[in-house]
Structure 1
Amino acid sequence: MLAVAILAAGKGTRMKSKLPKVLHPLGSKSLVERAIESCKIVKPHRTLVIIGYEGDKIENALNHLENVEFVQQTEQLGTGHAIMQLLPHLKDFTGDLLVLNGDVPLLRPETVEELVNTHQKNKNATTLLTANLKNPQGYGRVFCDGNNLVTQIVEDRDCNSAQKQNHRINAGVYCFNWQCLKEALPQLTTNNDQQEYYLTEVVDFLNPVMALDVHDHSEISGINDRCQLAVAYDVLQARVKEGWMKAGVTMIDPDSITIDETVQLGIDVTIEPQTHIRGNTIIGANCKIGPGCLIENSIIEDNTTVLYSVISDSKISANTRIGPYAHLRGGVELGENCRVGNFVEIKKSSIGNKTNIAHLSYIGDATLGNQVNIGAGTITANYDGVKKHPTIIGDRTKTGSNSVFVAPVTIGEDVTVGAGSVITHDVPNDSLAIARGKQKNIEGWKKP
């Protein structure tokens, strides 16, 4: 059996924020959520998050996750003290305890799996993740024999000048035999510079303790301020974009592009500069996205082009062209072979196949059929000041430029609406609708 403990009780004063440090977002997820997700690969039986500062906010933020327990650390007296809080919660537990930090969000699941496997294969009392850094300042040093068995761990501020020459550092990620650990925890002392209970001191009471070097130093980077948060985002983005480019996606100027790891991309997608794709977005094969696009929580099917546009919470069917400067939001469903052009906004509407909305229009709370042509400047006036109302436009209908549909209103199939019309009543199939004032010319008129 395996339990996981996530250390998340600290305030994080260097973040200069009212938000607990572990709740700061890194891409689409918080730091602590990333720590939790990194260990799903090892299928823990229990996941315990140790909270302290603003603990209720952390609980609320994680309440959508299943099988997460919360343990209070009312005083923050060190990492050893945090793990001591688990004693009553794991009093009947037998197995291993994996300890992660809630502010170390870049740990790869494969690394966690390797740590647990190494621990269990060698039947260690403790296995800890380590790294050899060129500049180890600020990190506790790990001293090992030739078999990677740990002989001593010394915190940076407690190191003497000779010990500081050791470049192997403690990453703060551990796998313990819980039975051994719970016997060692009561023996911890505060005989150190910070007068705290260091979890690392348990190596003095456990045997064997083995070190496992991480392959990529960026995985163990902790977040203490917003500068480090930005660096971590760069690392995360580099991983995501490298993975997609190797999978058959072309990125023009990857440094200007951001893609959440929750995004799915088809083969032969091209992403142009200054494009940002977020949330649960799926983009089909042979699409061209950008430059200058923001796409969130949307589905874009094959062979679609999106240029300088914003799309959120919408579904775009195949072989469609969008932009430049279009905005689709709030549950738009766009059919195949459509054209949505310059300065068009569509909100919460269903649009049929081969329908064109090419210029300067607003379509809201509307249902448009197949092969509809919306003239430039067409507006659905869907809001009466209190409620939103629907507009329905049937197949093959054409609206003239600067038409206004005052909802609720239904326009039938094969209707032509004259330019400049304000339509306030339903229009039957196969009709010409004109609703505008009669033009009057006064010849020979001059300004008084």
Structure 2
Amino acid sequence: MTELLSIILAAGEGTRMKSAVPKVLHPVGGLPVVSHVLRTAKAAGATIAVVVGPNHEAVEAAVTRFEAGAHISKQLDRLGTAHAVQQARAAFEAAKGHVLVLYADNPLITSETIARIVEKLDSGADMVVVGFRPQNPTGYGRLLTRDGQIFAIREHKDATEEERQIGLCNSGIMGFRGDVLRSVIDRIGNKNAKGEYYLTDAVEIAAGDSRKVDFIEADAGELVGVDNRIKLAEAEATFQEFKRNEAMENGATLRDPKSVFFSWDTEIGRDVTIFPNVVFGPGVKIADNVEIRAFCDIEDAVIGEGATIGPFARIRGGAELGPDVHLGNFVEVKKSKIGAGTKAGHLSYLGDAEIGSKTNIGAGTITCNYDGVNKDKTIIGDNAFIGSHASLVAPVRIGNGAYTASGSVITEDVPDDALAFGRARQENKPGYAPKLREKALAKKAAQQAAKGK
């Protein structure tokens, strides 16, 4: 297998995004745009080099989080795409195989398209250009072809009226044999309307060297470039359509596909039914035979087989729901493990909790996990019954088979099979709140000191 280096150009400022965030860090499907491109390049088996702009430490951090071994270089002066590629000289000079030039604002490029480029190079092409046919080609460079080969790419500003009638446009994505890139990159000049060094000029130079310059056509939707908020929304819409179709092809039912939104890493099992207006954030895994009812928001959660969620439920923060769990309307679960067959039907908050199997959580139950400084855990055993409108003040443990009476405030552990009442008349203690706060801060300081050891 021929070695492949992918140079990803990520130096653009993205001023049309009207944002303090670099354009390649805006998310599509919950993942930064640049990370989509990195993910695709890695899936194609490429080693990674990324060219970033000045003051783009956040972009560098995003790249290294996703690919720790990426070669990163900087384009301090934005003098065009060829100039950007030149900044990755250390990477392409050492390349022993093919070199692929990708753009960090093309989040929907597929590994299949990269495979087609590599196939052309393996079959004898010296250079391959990816073209597409947009509905409106205005602003795009045109591919000038003769006898099935490209002899030039003409930027829109430099094109004649006749050349502007050509529908086949340049995506900017190119593949080179490594020796060909090294032979042409320093011969690219800047005699054009913008005075920049265009990588597209490599086509004319290579053709003049009697090199074989081939091209492939890709779908226009795959090549959308995210350089403003409108294009960002367009990329998101295309991504979501793909994820919805993928889920349905793999055996899930979407009652209203257009109202369901997936993340880049959402995993959906078979015979899952998803009702309208459901949003999945990153980190969600759903087993088979799950039902997600309308208006649920789920992220960073694992949902076991046969569970029923919602409507109007929020699951987040590392929640783990076992098989046949039922969570009803207006139930929120955060950083909690819930055992098989447990039910919380209405209006509850379950945070920082471990709940056993076949336990019933009554309406209005709250795990009081936060004292204003620290978060503590509530542990509830198997086959327990938590009465409606209960407040469970952590840290607290409720045993197997235990009952808590409705309306109780539970502040002490409840033994197995015991019935706990926690109702009392109100009593005010003037000036006591600062003492509680001081006690909580002291506890936190002690915990931090213990960690320091």
TM score, norm. by length of structure 2: 0.88
For 2:410, give the aligned amino acid. F
Question: What are the equivalent positions in structure 2 for 1:191-206 lying under 5 Å apart?
Answer: 191-206=191-206
| Other-structure match for 2:355 | 351
Contact residue 41 and residue 113 of structure 1 kept, 8 A:
no
| Other-structure match for 2:413 | 410
Contact residue 359 and residue 375 of structure 1 kept, 8 A:
yes
| Other-structure match for 2:428 | none
For 1:373, give the aligned amino acid. F
> Separation in 2 of the partners of 1:39 and 1:91?
19
For the structure 1 residues 53 and 26, does the alpha-carbon distance in structure 2 shift closer, same or farther, using more than 3 Å as the test? farther
Question: What are the equivalent positions in structure 2 for 1:12-411 lying under 5 Å apart?
Answer: 12-44=14-46, 46-64=47-65, 65-121=67-123, 123-147=124-148, 149-206=149-206, 207-214=211-218, 216-307=219-310, 308-312=312-316, 313-330=318-335, 332-363=336-367, 364=369, 365-382=377-394, 390-406=395-411, 409-411=412-414
- CA apart distance, 1:311: 0.5
> Separation in 1 of the partners of 2:191 and 2:139?
19
For the residue of structure 2 that corresponds to 1:19, the secondary structure is coil
Contact residue 351 and residue 369 of structure 1 kept, 8 A:
yes
- CA apart distance, 1:93: 2.9
Q: Quick check: 127-136 or 354-363, which moved more?
A: 127-136
> Separation in 1 of the partners of 2:45 and 2:292?
37
- CA apart distance, 1:371: 0.8
- CA apart distance, 1:421: 5.5
- CA apart distance, 1:140: 0.3
- CA apart distance, 1:415: 0.6
Q: Quick check: 132-141 or 158-167, which moved more?
A: 132-141
1:145-185 deviations in Å (ceiling 9; x for gaps): 232x1011100111111100100001111111121222212
Contact residue 98 and residue 177 of structure 2 kept, 8 A:
yes
> Separation in 1 of the partners of 2:95 and 2:147?
33
For 2:78, give the aligned amino acid. Q
Q: Quick check: 338-347 or 278-287, which moved more?
A: 278-287
Q: Quick check: 81-90 or 335-344, which moved more?
A: 81-90
> Separation in 2 of the partners of 1:182 and 1:222?
27
> Separation in 1 of the partners of 2:88 and 2:366?
57
Contact residue 259 and residue 276 of structure 1 kept, 8 A:
yes
Runs of 4 or more consecutive aligned structure 1 residues displaced over 6 Å after TM superposition:
none
The number of residues matched between the two structures is 408
Where is the helix percentage greater, Structure 1 or Structure 2? 2
For the residue of structure 1 that corresponds to 2:89, the secondary structure is coil
For the structure 1 residues 62 and 133, does the alpha-carbon distance in structure 2 shift closer, same or farther, using more than 3 Å as the test? closer
Contact residue 39 and residue 113 of structure 1 kept, 8 A:
no
Contact residue 41 and residue 48 of structure 2 kept, 8 A:
no
> Separation in 1 of the partners of 2:175 and 2:164?
25
> Separation in 2 of the partners of 1:345 and 1:172?
50
The structure with the larger Rg is 1
> Separation in 1 of the partners of 2:356 and 2:274?
27
1:108-136 deviations in Å (ceiling 9; x for gaps): 11111111112222x22210111123321
| Other-structure match for 2:437 | none
Q: Percent identity?
A: 28
Contact residue 51 and residue 73 of structure 2 kept, 8 A:
yes
| Structure 1: gaps (5+ residues) | 383-389, 423-448
Contact residue 378 and residue 401 of structure 1 kept, 8 A:
yes
Contact residue 22 and residue 32 of structure 1 kept, 8 A:
yes
- CA apart distance, 1:57: 1.5
> Separation in 2 of the partners of 1:41 and 1:118?
18
> Separation in 2 of the partners of 1:37 and 1:160?
38
- CA apart distance, 1:299: 0.9
- CA apart distance, 1:270: 0.5
> Separation in 2 of the partners of 1:164 and 1:10?
26
> Separation in 1 of the partners of 2:241 and 2:304?
25
- CA apart distance, 1:419: 6.2
1:292-342 deviations in Å (ceiling 9; x for gaps): 101111111111111110001211111121011000002x11011111121
For the residue of structure 1 that corresponds to 2:171, the secondary structure is strand
